[in-house]
Amino acid sequence: MPTTAEAAEPRTAEPAAAKPPEEVPAAAQAPKRGPARRAPAWAVLAVCCLAQFMVVLDVTIVNVALPSMQSDLGLSASGLQWVVNGYTLAFAGLLLFGGRAADLFGRRRVFVTGLTLFTAASLAGGLATTEATLIAARAVQGLGGAVLAPATLSVLMTSFPDPRERARALGLWSTTAAGGGALGVLAGGLLTQIADWRWVFFVNVPIGLALIAGARIALIESRGQARGVRDLDVPGTVTVTGGLVALVYGIVRTESGSWGSPVTLGWLAAAVALLAAFVVIELRTANPLVPLGVFRRRALRYANLIILIMGTVMFGLFFFLTLYLQRIQGQEPLEAGLSMLPMPLLIIVGSQFSSRTVGRLGPRPLVIAGTLTAATGMAWLGALSADGSYWTQVFGPLALFGLGMGINMVAVTTAATSGVPPQIAGLASGLLNTGRQIGAAVGLALLATIAHHHSEGRLAAGTLEAEALTSGYSLAFVISAGLLLLAGVVACLLPGRPPAVPVTIAEQPRGDRERLEALAEA
């Protein structure tokens, strides 16, 4: 496996080197640095995977501790929702900015900044004594996660240029990302039951401090463009962040209101207006936050759609199955977390298989196989009954779903990032993470609304509560299975083989806008 110094060593294009200094594009005039420190590739991989694990873990670890938080701090019903939604809004809204920041300001610098914010906010959350301070800490956690998550993938993409080594690295990264979400339920139940709810935050502090030290040692600074803040598209950043926040907020409001309420419709209309303004700005600005030519990449375009669907079904599974196990089966939080273990274990198996075969088979057949396997497991969950056995109705579906998702995650990430120039690696990873989070927020709200109305209808017809709730959960799983089948159809449109990853741009187009568009479309 190559060292990070070898992976990050720049290769200067001959035409650019032959030009007079005044003619060299600004992006190529990177400041001269001393010899890069050599760090084992495993150290880079460990730092990135653990950081991603910590971010994803925090999406689900808090959920199990919410009742304890509410009783200890006297949280209102709306405050309890905002403990979750504050993180979701900041995380989903700022992911694109985080991805672009890694390209512009330096991947190691942004990585450490995001990790520092996340760790400090975790400490503040654990020390919180009021509703307001807890919600504020969660929002800052989301900000730190939005900066950190794209940087982890961007660092891996630029540190492992060899396709085989990159596939293995992405396999481990995808495993830890998926495992973090599943193990968050278990860790939250364990910490809440044997210690205190505050430890769902405190657990991040020693991990974060160790990772900050590890990142300073193992990671080598790299960036896509050398001019930093002068290349930042401020109007684009403001409009896309505002649009995504308005979209997610309008959707999470449906938990306490309705889709047709004036306030919800107002937020959704604001989201449409801001996102439309973002597109107009990106078409006109010289240094776009998201060069729209990136969506001409067939692999990235379809991979993002698949990732969005995966985010919907994955977080939908966490939500509905946890409710089923605790409310219908009567399990304690720790027991419910243990019951979810087949999924992360099979995700590990599936991702390792995918990382070893994606270089030979290409991502398309693996994504198709993975989505069909996951859809089978999800359809099986659609047959849940209120008095069903865990071993016959939950264990098998979880194993199938985990295996399929493990195969999928590596193959989809490989399809989306293969052939992406290092100059826009952060942007590509930011798009993937944004698609996943928007899918989780939008899809979960839709599924929850459908399940709730279905259960209410069954209750009104005289069905017992346990059966009515289980019927709603089952319907959500059936819809999720259909979405996975749709993802399988989309996977048929992926390229058969990923293109090679360019390590440099030999000829720079005229002007900043043309340069970024060429990079995006390359």
The CATH number of whichever domain residue 62 belongs to comes to 1.20.1250.20
- Residue 33, in any domain of the structure: no
Do 117 and 132 belong together in one domain? Answer: yes
Euclidean distance between CA atoms 341 and 347, whole angstroms: 10
pLDDT number for residue 403: 95
Domain identity same for 394 and 469: yes
Give the model's pLDDT for residue 275: 93
Of residues 192 and 370, more confidence is placed in 370
22 versus 491: the higher-pLDDT residue is 491
Q: For 275-329, what is each residue's pLDDT tens digit? A: 999 999 988 888 787 888 778 888 888 999 999 999 899 888 988 898 898 889 9
Quick one: 121 and 174 in the same domain? Answer: yes
Domain-embedded: residue 86: yes
Q: Look at residue 299 and tell me if it is in a domain.
A: yes
Whether 94 is in a domain gets the answer yes
The answer to whether the CB of 105 falls within 8 A of the CB of 223 is yes
Question: Structural domain tally of the chain?
Answer: 2
pLDDT tens profile 163-173: 778 778 877 88
Tell me: pLDDT of 3 over 80.
no
For 371-399, write each residue's pLDDT tens digit.
999 999 999 999 999 998 999 999 999 99
Q: Do residues 359 and 454 share a domain? A: yes
In the predicted model, is pLDDT for residue 501 greater than 70? Answer: no
Same domain, 272 and 204: no
What mean pLDDT is reported for the chain? 81
Question: Sorting pLDDT into bands at 50, 70 and 90, what band is 226?
Answer: very low
pLDDT of residue 510: 42
Residues 438 and 326 in one domain: yes
Domain range enclosing 275: 234-284
Using the Cα atoms of residue 176, residue 178, residue 183 and residue 184 in order, give the sign of their dihedral.
positive
Q: What is the pLDDT of residue 269?
A: 95
> What does residue 153 show for φ and ψ, rounded to 5 degrees?
-70, -35
Average pLDDT over residues 447-457: 87
- Residue 256: strand, helix, or coil: coil
**263 Cβ neighbours under 8 A, 6+ residues apart:** 253, 257
Say whether both 323 and 262 belong to one domain.
no
Specify the pLDDT at position 224.
59
Give yes or no: residues 95 and 201 share one domain: yes
Q: Tell me the average pLDDT across 171-194.
A: 78
pLDDT band at 228 (very low <50, low <70, confident <90, very high): low
Model confidence pLDDT, tens digit, residues 459-471: 999 889 999 999 9
* Residues 218 and 240 reside in one and the same domain: no
Answer whether residue 459 is part of any domain: yes
* Contact between 336 and 322 (Cβ < 8 Å): yes
More reliable by pLDDT, 333 or 313: 313
| Better-scored residue on pLDDT, 92 or 346 | 346
Is position 461 within any domain?
Answer: yes
The pLDDT of 424-449, averaged and rounded, is 77
One domain, residues 161 and 177: yes
- The answer to whether residue 174 scores a pLDDT higher than 90 is no
Asked if residue 17 belongs to a domain, the reply is no
Q: Percent of the chain scored above 90 by pLDDT?
A: 33
**Tokens 């859809």 identify what position?**
375
Q: For the ranges 59-63, 226-230, 502-506, which has the lowest average pLDDT?
A: 502-506
What is the secondary structure of 89-154 as a DSSP string?
Answer: HHHHHHHHHHHHHHHHH-HHHHHHHHHHHHHHHHHHHHH--SHHHHHHHHHHHHHHHHHHHHHHHH
Q: Is pLDDT above 80 for 85?
A: no
**Could you tell me if 164 and 141 lie in one domain?**
yes
195 is a domain residue: yes
pLDDT at position 281:
93
User: What is the predicted pLDDT for the residue at 305?
Assistant: 93
Same domain, 483 and 428: yes
Torsion of CA 458, 461, 467, 469, to 10 degrees: 30
Per the document, the length of the chain is 522
Percent above pLDDT 70 for the chain: 83
Q: What is the pTM of this model?
A: 0.75
SS3 of residue 216 by DSSP = helix
**Average pLDDT, integer, range 438-443:** 79
**Hey, is 285 helix, strand or coil?**
coil
Q: What pLDDT score was predicted for residue 477? A: 97
